[in-house]
Chains A and B, each alone.
Chain A
Amino acid sequence: MTGAIDWTALGVFLFFFLLVTVLGFWAARWRAAGKGLDSLHEWGLGGRGFGTFVAWFLIGGDLYTAYTFIAVPALLYAGNVVGFFAVPYTVLVYPLIFIFLPRLWSVSHRHGYCTTADFVLGRYGSRTLALAVSLTGILATMPYIALQLVGIQVVLETMGIGGGAGASLLERDLPLFVAFAVLAAYTYSSGLRAPALIAFVKDTLIYVVILTAVIYLPLELGGWGAVFDAAQQKFDQPGTPATGTIPPESLHWAYASLALGSALALFMYPHSITASLSTKNRNVLRRNAALLPAYSFLLGLLALLGFVALAAGVTVDNPQLAIPVLFQQEFPSWFAGTAFAAIAIGALVPAAIMSIAAANLWTRNVYKPFIKPDMTHADEARQAKLMSLLVKFGALVFVLGLPTRFAINLQLLGGVWILQTLPAIVIPLYTRWFHPRALFGGWLAGMLYGTWTAYQADFSAVATVPFTDTVGYIALTAFAINVVVAVVLTLALRALRVAEGSDETVPADYYADAGDDGVQPLAIGKVPPVDQAAPTSA
């Protein structure tokens, strides 16, 4: 993969990269409210006015990341059929979104919340619980951003630039550094509008590339039947650890729990919440729950490219290179360049949103309450902008300084961690029954169990469920423990009559929509500041 540089492919790649760079900077003026980007609602949530169309691109661009495009087929290529769990996972995720996200949207708009931790603080009046939620969010997001970089690195390596074992450190990492500096610069200046606009380019490219790949490549190789046969044959060879093309019964729960756990975790990630809260009204979310599955279909077919790579005789030591090498081997240079651009831009969009989301959390829920309480809206936006740079720089250092394996392990842990914030975020959308301290206790138990078990299992996603022989997703087991602990502690704390904490929300907040009786019209850029957003009438 470290052969001569393919200039045609590189030229096409650079063209698209320049295009999105221009778009990224121009985005600051796109749909601008005329009052600049000096509040978190503007910079960090794009003015909270995105409709169904923009939201579809933004949320889709956000959830289906470059790393997904590299890693999911890589699993299948390596004979790990459990990797196809990505498909049931994307099936379940949308009904789940449909159920709880509109409530979160409503309460967040009534009270001007920008992050989940804002909501937790408002609902429980517990700074500790809010801090736990925000730190978990930041911690889980960092390795995720790092993995987006890995996605770009893989593409650059395939194109023959920056790669090579003999290359000097500067030569190897400079292209990645430049790509990320550019990303950091336009995220800083345009905020969430930049990834929203770039997502149009990203998704168009991804659709063209994947559709071409899943139609053209199998035809070349004798149809999908031949592809599956070739994969099965590969896995049947002695000495391969593969399980065939269909998971055996012992892995059924692992498969189902990975799908369920990942679906539940997805919308706990700060970047998904950021994209969701940037929408104009709650129906935008509901409509998108029905429209976003178009991406899932793409992901499903893309996963199968792992088998296509096997059938095409792609042989790489690092399975993550399977898809880029497949494209390079089977497509003409100009189209391979387009495909690589699609993957790289596919990394930039989520990386931008993730860094914005982590910056929002830091500013609103760590810096403001604990370090500098008297911040104006302009101060908040300034702090978040700086933080978004720092987060990205941190991810870069991470990828350049530590083995890739480490980032992947941490990302896996991130999935385990982020799911532990679900009881504190989703349950209070329905009931205030749980005691805030009990939720903190549950969170702690889930975090400790999950981290320890993942470490013990050598950073495998699955481990034996305690008291059974069944193998299941660690995050989901930890989540079950989390909920049980929270229930038991709530009963105990209530028996001891420990103070329940405050609650600034009222039931009607959870149904409020733009244009409802008693709700201030939420025009673009006119979200009321937090302290004045108390429910007017309900």
Chain B
Amino acid sequence: MKARWLVGLLLLIPIVCPLLVGTYARNEPELAGFPFYYWYQLLWIPIGAVCTAIAYRLLMRERRRKEGQRRPGGESA
């Protein structure tokens, strides 16, 4: 149950944060010539991918645990 909440949270973060435009609509600080506005949004692409990947791992682990309970010694999908 705890895992499901964590998965939900992990998926919610990359959905909500990029929508808060007011938090990043500015020029400073620049990075390699990119205004903050642009590099910050590009940065969310890998962050989103990492969140989704962790969520996937958590779900898989949860699933294996459940399956282990249902049929001890059973093979995992």
What residues of chain A lie closer than 8 Å to B49, measured between beta carbons? 94, 290-291, 293-294
Does A256 belong to the interface (CB within 8 Å)? yes
A507 in the interface (beta carbon within 8 A): no
Known contacts A290-B52, A513-B77; A297 and B45 CB within 8 A of each other: yes
A90 lies within 8 A of chain B by Cβ = yes
Contact A98 B52 (CB under 8 A): yes
Q: Mark B6-36, 1 if CB is under 8 A from A, else 0.
A: 0000011011001111100111001011110
Question: Given the complex, which residues of B lie within 8 Å of A246, measured CB to CB?
Answer: 25-27, 35, 37
Is A88 close to B, CB under 8 A? yes
B56 touches A287 (CB 8 A): yes
Q: Determine if A84 and B15 form an interchain contact, defined as CB atoms under 8 angstroms apart.
A: no
B56 to A98, Cβ gap below 8 A?
yes
Known: A91-B14, A95-B14, A289-B52. A255 touches B21 (CB 8 A): yes
Q: Which residues of A contact B3 (CB under 8 A)?
A: none
Kindly supply a per-residue 1/0 record for chain A positions 88-130, scoring 1 wherever the CB is within 8 Å of any chain B CB and 0 otherwise.
1011101110110000000000000000000000000000000
Kindly supply a per-residue 1/0 record for chain B positions 32-72, scoring 1 wherever the CB is within 8 Å of any chain A CB and 0 otherwise.
11110110011011101101110110011000000000000
Please indicate the chain B residues that have their CB under 8 angstroms from the CB of A255 in the complex: 21
Q: Could you tell me the distance in whole angstroms from the C-beta of A216 to the nearest C-beta in chain B?
A: 15
State in angstroms the CA–CA spacing of A225 and B31 once bound together. Answer: 9
Size bracket, chain A contacts: 35 or more
Question: Are A95 and B77 in contact, CB atoms less than 8 angstroms apart?
Answer: no
Interface size class of B (residues with CB under 8 A): 20 to 34
Contact of A87 among B27, B41, B77 (CB under 8 A): B41
Contact status A95-B22, CB under 8 Å: no
Are B42 and A87 in touch, CB under 8 angstroms? yes
Complexed CA–CA distance, A72 and B53 (Å):
28
Cβ-defined contact, B19 with A260, below 8 A:
yes
B15:A87 contact, CB within 8 angstroms: no
How far apart sit A224 and B37, CA to CA, in the bound complex (Å)?
14
Contact B51 A90 (CB under 8 A): no
Please determine whether B42 and A99 come into contact, CB atoms closer than 8 angstroms.
no
A362 to chain B, nearest CB (A): 33
Complex partner residue of B46 from A226, A289, A293, A513, CB under 8 angstroms: A293
Q: Which residues of A contact B33 (CB under 8 A)?
A: 218, 223-228
- Per the bound structure, the CA–CA distance linking A128 and B20 in Å amounts to 39
Interchain CA distance A218-B34 in the complex, whole Å = 12
Q: Report whether A256 and B30 are in contact in the complex, using a CB–CB cutoff of 8 Å.
A: no
B11, B37, B41, B45: which contacts A95 (Cβ < 8 A)?
Answer: B11
- B48-A91 in contact (CB<8A): yes
B49 to chain A, nearest CB (A): 4
Q: Assess A256 versus B34: contact at CB under 8 Å? Given A91-B44, A98-B11, A286-B56.
A: no
Partner of B52, one of A95, A227, A247: A95
Interface pair B38/A304, CB less than 8 Å apart:
yes
* A283 to B42 alpha-carbon distance, docked (Å): 26
The 26 listed contacts between A and B (C-beta, < 8 Å) are A84-B38, A87-B18, A87-B41, A87-B44, A91-B18, A92-B14, A92-B15, A92-B18, A94-B49, A95-B15, A95-B52, A95-B55, A98-B56, A99-B11, A218-B33, A223-B32, A224-B33, A225-B32, A246-B25, A246-B26, A246-B27, A256-B19, A287-B56, A293-B48, A297-B42, A515-B77
List the 8 closest pairs (A to B, CB-CB), nearest first. A225-B33, A224-B33, A88-B18, A290-B53, A252-B21, A95-B11, A293-B49, A290-B52
Query: Which residues of B pack against A, CB within 8 Å?
Result: 11-12, 14-15, 18-22, 25-27, 30, 32-35, 37-38, 41-42, 44-46, 48-49, 51-53, 55-56, 59-60, 77
